Amino acid sequence: MHEGKAHHDWQIASASMALLANINRDPKKGRALRPEDFNPWESRMRKVRKGNLPTAGVEALKAAIIDGKGEREVDVEFGGRK
């Protein structure tokens, strides 16, 4: 619950910061700023959404979970490593 309130508070604060920054910006120098540019929670979520999570096929998941093999014993890519 605390984390949800923190997200909500940052959404409100970042919208206010973006509004203030866009009021005072020079339109000839760069793009308009968005609330996501000021929100630290949004930047963390972007990293997760970009696919930084390891990917594995069904066989690798079966070997890791059911057979109890570790990452080094399974022949599959985990987040760019093999």
The answer to whether residue 19 scores a pLDDT higher than 50 is: yes
Nearest alpha carbon to residue 41 among 15, 22, 21, 19: 15
Nearest alpha carbon to residue 81 among 50, 60, 58: 60
Nearest alpha carbon to residue 7 among 47, 49, 38, 41: 41
Cβ-count burial 22-54 (b if 16+ within 10 Å, e if not): eeeeeeeeeeebebeebbebbeeeeeeeeeeee
Domain residue extents for the chain = 2-50, 54-82
Give the global pTM: 0.50
Average confidence score pLDDT of the chain:
75
The answer to whether residue 58 scores a pLDDT higher than 90 is: no
